[in-house]
Amino acid sequence: MKITVRFTLFLVSILSFSPDLAAQIAYSKITVEQLESAYEAFKEPAITHRRFKHADIQPLIQKHSVAFQIEKLGESVAGKSISSMNWGDGKTKVMLWSQMHGNESTATMALFDLFNFLEGKDDGYEALRELLKNQLSLKFIPMLNPDGADAFKRRNNLDIDLNRDAISQISPEAVILKKARDDFEPEFGFNLHDQQIYYNVVNTPKQATISLLAPAYNYKTEINDVRGRAMQTIAGMNELLQELIPGQVGKYDDAFEPRAFGDNIQKWGTSTILIESGGYLGDPEKQEIRKINFMIILNALHQIATQGYEQYTTDQYFAIPDNGFQLMDLIINEMQVKVDGTWYPVDLAIRRRETENAEGYFMSGSVEDLGDMQVFFGFETLDATGLHYIEGKVYPESFESIAEISGEKVLELLRKGFMAVKVKNAEARQVHDLPILVLKTTEKFSSGWMTGSSPNFFLSKEGVLKYAVVNGYLIDLENPKKQEIRNRVF
């Protein structure tokens, strides 16, 4: 295995003060290649997408019951177990908790990859593993909100946002997290979340694939040693991230939230690091971001074990650009809309948000804003100069089933101005991939261009339909391209 040794001034200075750290010199810095090959060797094969459930991870926890000390901490509102997994016997205590928001599962996947790594042997990573084991005591709490995870929703079964329940502790899950922190008294904490895919690095079209924060512990957002150490560690994590995803790292807003766990755990004396996993183009199941999580968490643990974070400054933390919320799925520029007899050119900004369904999830398009949309960035952008808004019609005949409607047929109907079809045999809310609205229980569909509307309309040029916008998906009627569509039956 390739080992990179970088003798820096920093290392020389810690060596002179702490000769017991001599063994760590071989791992002065873990390389991207080492982290990547560790991920490939140890990623947990039982998890392949982001909608896994509490029952799926129980056998994965149990398979580590020899190498880890597993403790049931309590139960969720619905009675599902919440466990912690302890590893290592070093003096620096680190606690990592994931998925307090049930639909934020990226880091949970990475934790199971990390458990496999920590349990590995005879593979060239012994020195790193020994170092972590001797320097750190790790406490992991994967999936703090199992009820939310099973429904793939943010809140728990009391409909409480656990991240606003750190003080009142109405929720059993909040009691569990608070007690775990108080019993363990970690020096470092990792608060692991996902953020919406629409977060960007402010004023750039780049998605904030990872955002980081050392949460504030008071309204004045002051910096003490505890928060300062979190900032230094984040600066080191960002250095690695810039190699992995240049320009795609944001600094999360540090406004103090007196009810949040991250802010309070910082206040209670644990250097707390928030990781927010955002979006990454072409990675809807977040498997690339899972890998990035594995790499930055392992790197951060190494930094903590070696006190390598001390080589970074809070200035480097503040130099990370802020998060923005400027991304849209689709921006249509300068389409002509008619109001009170006059045509006006407006830009339309559209998002398609996921909605959970018993049989999966579908997307719900909506017009987020309109007018001058130059401050936003679209994953897809259409210059609609000279194109006019046209309402769609419902096709008068009914189909027996969705299976009867081919992709060719849909295009033919769209080109004739039909935006919706009626189907006799379909489940209401059934998910389908047709780029047309499917009606089962209604004869109508909602349509429009104003804010909050469902974006279902055509764009025409000199009487010819050029584009259809169906549930916020853009369909080029002359050159239709293949795209993944998740619509539902109305």
Binding site for Zn ion (CB under 5 A): 101, 104, 193
Taking the alpha carbons of 182, 301, 236, 284 in that order, is the dihedral positive or negative?
negative
- Give the separation between CA 424 and CA 402, rounded to whole angstroms: 9
Would you say 262 or 435 has its CB closer to Zn ion? 262
Contact in structure between 200 and 206 (CB atoms under 8 Å): yes
Q: Which is nearer to Zn ion, 210 or 439 (CB)?
A: 210
**Main-chain phi, psi angles of 368, to 5 degrees:** -85, -35
CB of 101 to Zn ion, least distance (A): 4
What residue type is 371 in one-letter code? G
Q: How far is the CB of 118 from Zn ion (least distance, A)?
A: 25
Rounded least distance, CB 154 to Zn ion, Å: 7
Nearer to Zn ion, 38 or 144 (CB): 144
Question: Considering beta carbons, is residue 93 or 101 the nearer one to Zn ion?
Answer: 101
CB 99 within 8 A of CB 105: yes
Alpha carbon distances (Å) from 323 to 84, 216, 221, 328: 31, 16, 17, 15
Radius of gyration of the chain (CA): 26
Six-digit token string for 221: 């957002």
In the complex, minimum distance from the CB of residue 263 to Zn ion, in angstroms, rounded to a whole number = 13
Tell the smallest beta-carbon distance from residue 394 to Zn ion (Å). 40
Q: Is the alpha carbon torsion for 474, 478, 484, 486 positive or negative?
A: positive
Dihedrals φ, ψ of 241, to 5°? -60, -35
* Nearer of residues 297 and 489 to Zn ion, judged by Cβ: 297
Q: What is d(CA 284, CA 162) in angstroms, rounded to the nearest whole number?
A: 25
Q: Which is nearer to Zn ion, 129 or 164 (CB)?
A: 164
Residue closer to Zn ion (CB basis): 193 or 267: 193
Least distance (Å) between residue 194 CB and Zn ion:
6
**What's the closest the beta carbon of residue 241 comes to Zn ion, in angstroms?**
19
Q: What is the Cα–Cα distance from 358 to 254, expressed in whole angstroms?
A: 36
Which of 104, 150 has the CB closer to Zn ion? 104
Q: Minimum distance between the CB of residue 162 and Zn ion, rounded to whole angstroms?
A: 9
Within 8 A by CB and 6+ apart from 207, the residues are 197, 199, 200, 201, 248, 278, 279, 280, 281, 327
Distance, in Å, from the CA atom of 367 to the CA atom of 346, rounded to the nearest integer, reads: 12
